[in-house]
Structure formats: C-alpha cells, structure tokens
Amino acid sequence: LHFATLPKKAKMKLAVSDITSRSSPAIVSIKTKDKEGAEIAIGSGFIISSDGIIVTNFHVLESVYKAEVKIGESEFKEAYLIKGDPSLDIALLKVDAEDLSVLPIGNSDDVINGQFVVVLGNPLGFERSVSSDIISGIRSKGELKLLQMTAPVSLGSSGGPVINEYGEVIGITTIASFLFAQNLNFAIPINHLKKLISEK
C-alpha cells in the first residue's frame, strides 16, 4: 500500500476553507450494526487508497456484526476489516470501489505543540463537519504517543482525520477508553498507522 504524499515543493499553507474543500471528498461516515440489523454507532473515517481502503478507529468496529460506509452520496453496504490493532485504536476497512479521492499523509514526528490543525468528521452524525484549533500537547502512554488538541470532538468524530495547514493527515481522532480524562481531545499520530501497515 502506497500512501499519497505531498512533495515538498507542493506544500503551501492553506486556508481552513481550502483544506475542507480538498479533504471532504475523502471523508467517510461509518454505520455499525448488530446481527439483527439495528444500528450500534456511527463513526468517521478517511480514504487512503483510491481502490477503497479506509482508516478509522478500532473501537468503532469492535463487537459489531456489520459496517456500512457512506462516501458522499454513495453507500457501500459491505465493508471488510482488513487489519486492526486495538492497542493503537486503528483499523483499516475495505470497500469495493475505484477512483476515490484520497488524503495525503504527513509525518506526525514533525508535529509541534501549538501548531494549527483542522479536524474533519461526523460528530453526532452531522456529516463532514469541520473544526479547527491547535495541538495543545504531545503525550505518551506506554508505547503509544497521543496528540492532545483543543479542537472539539464529539461522538461520531472517532476515526476522522486531523489535518495540518498543508492539507496532510497527521493524526486520527479518537475518544477511546484508554485516554486520560473526558473533555480532552486526542488523536493517534499518523506514523502509528504507517507502522501498522508496514507490519506483516
């Protein structure tokens, strides 16, 4: 799997509106259902491969029978888990699609305290909502690094991208139970995803 990346020459600081318009086509909403077909929860995700590979949180898919994905107006009733790590709270889903928009992947080792970020997702089911603010801390919890941020996050935002001012994904929004407290918003650094994908 090869990520889309931005060449250094192509990096330009973008307005929030530009980041939103460029990134929105690659944002997905994920509905999870039980065996009876009743909806369990809604989450967010983003596309990293034009043939339908989607990143989300592991906890969004935990203990569910079925996941359905909506990309724009297109609905995919079958989404398959292809890789996941509960300790990182990252999962990869696949839908049968082609020529999808993808988000470029950045380097979360370059993230610094106080830097500006944009968060896209589906809080409480409001699709493709956007919020922006700053990285307010870089925390460690065992092997796991977490990006603390002041950008507001709600139920349904889980699994959405945290994007830097160049339009690159540098984190994955999470509100998983391994976090320190409520009312603090966190993202998993995108380099954890790179590591997960590189593992056989």
Catalytic residues: 59, 89, 158
Closest CA to 187 of 196, 153, 168: 153
State the Cα–Cα distance between residues 17 and 20, nearest whole angstrom. Answer: 5
- Please say whether the beta carbons of 84 and 172 come within 8 A: no
State the Cα–Cα distance between residues 17 and 22, nearest whole angstrom. Answer: 9
CA distance to 70, 93, 163, 166, per residue, from 6 (Å): 26, 23, 13, 9
- Please say whether the beta carbons of 61 and 91 come within 8 A: yes
One-letter amino acid of 59 = H
Helix ranges, 35-189 (H):
58-61
State the Cα–Cα distance between residues 160 and 116, nearest whole angstrom. Answer: 16
